[in-house]
Chain A
Amino acid sequence: MAKSALLKSSIAKKYWMAFTGLFLCLFLAGHLAGNLQLLVPNNALNFNKYALFMTTNPAVKILSYVTYLSILFHAVDGFLLTYQNIKARPVGYAKSNPSANSSFSSRNMAVLGTLILVFIVTHMVNFWAKMHFDQNIPLQTITVEVMGQKQELYLMTNDGYMATSQVAKTKEEAAKSGAQVYIKNRTEFYNTQADVKVGEGYKDLYKITVAFFKDPKYGLIATILYVVAMGVLAFHLLHGFQSAFQSIGLNSSTWIPKIKLFGKLFAIIVPILFAIIPVYIHFILK
């Protein structure tokens, strides 16, 4: 009996909300550390190397699956809780004065959470899906001057180079144009004649990101929506961070003030740092 109670009772649902919520806070911190590399000048290669690591390293893969599951569980559990809470008061009050006893964030966690979910989905379509599935994902190139002539080169993961002029997008194209190398499986360079792999390029997530926020038509609105979403996240965390500790039963007079302070700082600083990045890309980055 005790075991099944851990899945369906009201308090058990709170534990799950709290654990998944706190795990997502850890995820946010990690994600932020990666994103902040976008603020470093001339850092495209390092950023793309980091992106490659994050999509291929087995340990990170496990973490990412835990993250997907956490988001899913947190959202489903959150909707379930909210549904039950609405049902718990079938007839509402003619007059109520909720601001007299509770904070805006605490009363609107479900709405804030739903907005975050919408953001996460669009965010994944814009970046995660491109990284994982886009067949025409750009590969990182650099431009060098060779004897007074500008030349574009693909950077390879083995630190080699490959002139873009020699590389065809597909095998068929290579057959037509006579290019020595063609691209297979989105990132792999193949020798056309021998049909053997000669190297691999970096998916240019940096370029995708910059292009997204600098887009002449949609860049500004994307930047604004991103900043708004971070505001929503800030309010969600303003209540959520400390709330999670109450949910799992931690409420000691020595720790709670510290947790509340840390939670406030986390809820304000993390979203601001996230939001600075698209603002920098859209308005400042040349």
Chain B
Amino acid sequence: MSSAKNININLKIWRQKNAKAKGSMETYKLDNVSTASSFLEMLDQLNEQLINDKKEPVAFDHDCREGICGMCSLYINGRAHGPDTGTTTCQLHMRKFNDGDTIFIEPWRSKAFPVVKDLVVDRSAFDRIQQAGGFVSVNTSGRTMDANAIPIPKEDADKSFMAAACIGCGACVATCKNGSAMLFVGAKVSQYALLPQGKVEATQRVLNMVRQMDEEGFGNCTNTGACEVECPKGISLENIARMNREYLKASLK
């Protein structure tokens, strides 16, 4: 590992007081950022500087800071979760940047993800899509069948697991030129469609989730594939195709 050094950077950050306010890009200078720090630590450092200067700190979302909760977001230098692929913003490090760099930081942009404040957006549209069908009914009468008692082909189980890796971060929507949520919904539909437990509600699930997705104002997929490239969890386009297939099956029923 190369040893850490300190760099001076310029930041251009979207500032917006609240959901109704008109926002704008503001410029900040931040000196002595360790390349060993994470991107979010760099923002913490900026916020300390702002607080010391008696200014309002930048609001941004984060929670686990280890790439599993899906809470962090940020459109960094024109890319969702920054320049790396397969990582969330909390896993991005300042060693990816150079002294003197100007870094653009913007919130997810989507009609369905309204800005709450600065870089924080409201992603409850995803929750409502989940509520519309992202579940299976399980008999809890006391005679619940052990899930492992149902044989599942290894390949299906693997694919279902891979789909279930989606952390609901919304990078797919943010990066899609159409603001489409189909990678997210595709993953959520696939994770159940591939398992016997998911078959019972399969028809209603895909119809309801897609209807909710449309109602939330997400755009239409045109298969550009940008979501697959930027998804931190490597969710594959195959899941969108599977959703399209499930939807066709369900609509013809």
Contact = CB atoms under 8 A, between A and B. Distances in A.
Given A95-B104, A100-B79, A10 B179 contact: no
Contact-residue size bin, chain B (C-beta under 8 Å from the other chain): 35 or more
B124 interface: no
Interface centre among A84, A88, A247 (most CB of B within 10 A): A88
A1 B203 CA distance: 12
A29 B242 CA distance: 29
B12 A87 contact: no
Contact of A2 (B220, B230, B238, B250): B250
Contact of B210 (A10, A103, A107, A109): A10
Interface residues of A, number: 42
A79 to B, nearest CB: 12
Interface string B170-214: 000001011110100000000000000000000000010011011
B78 A96 contact: yes
Contact of B222 (A2, A12, A101, A109): A109
Contacts of A103: 224-225
Nearest to B175: A101
A81 B220 CA distance: 6
B159 to A, nearest CB: 11
B80 to A, nearest CB: 9
A173 B14 CA distance: 79
Interface string A1-16: 1110110011111110
A272 to B, nearest CB: 24
Contacts of A2: 207, 250-253
B112 interface: yes
B78 A97 contact: yes
B238 A251 contact: yes
Interface in B66-81: 75, 77-79
Contacts of B104: 94-95
A106 B109 CA distance: 20
B226 interface: yes
Contacts of B251: 2-3, 5-6, 12
A243 B223 contact: yes
Given A88-B218, A89-B179, A15 B224 contact: no
A101 B178 contact: no
Interface string B92-110: 0000000000001010011
Given A95-B104, A246-B241, A106 B220 contact: no
A154 to B, nearest CB: 52
B223 A88 contact: no
Nearest to B14: A94
B220 A101 contact: no
Given A96-B78, A98-B177, 15 more contacts: A3-B251, A5-B210, A9-B247, A10-B214, A14-B221, A84-B219, A87-B217, A89-B110, A89-B177, A100-B229, A101-B226, A103-B224, A243-B222, A247-B221, A251-B238
Interface of B: 12, 14, 25, 75, 77-79, 104, 106, 109-112, 175, 177-180, 182, 207, 210-211, 213-214, 217-226, 229-230, 237-238, 240-248, 250-253
Interface of A: 1-3, 5-6, 9-15, 81, 84-85, 87-98, 100-103, 106-107, 109, 239, 243, 246-251
14 contacts: A2-B250, A9-B211, A10-B221, A14-B244, A15-B244, A81-B222, A88-B219, A89-B109, A89-B179, A94-B25, A94-B104, A95-B12, A246-B240, A249-B247
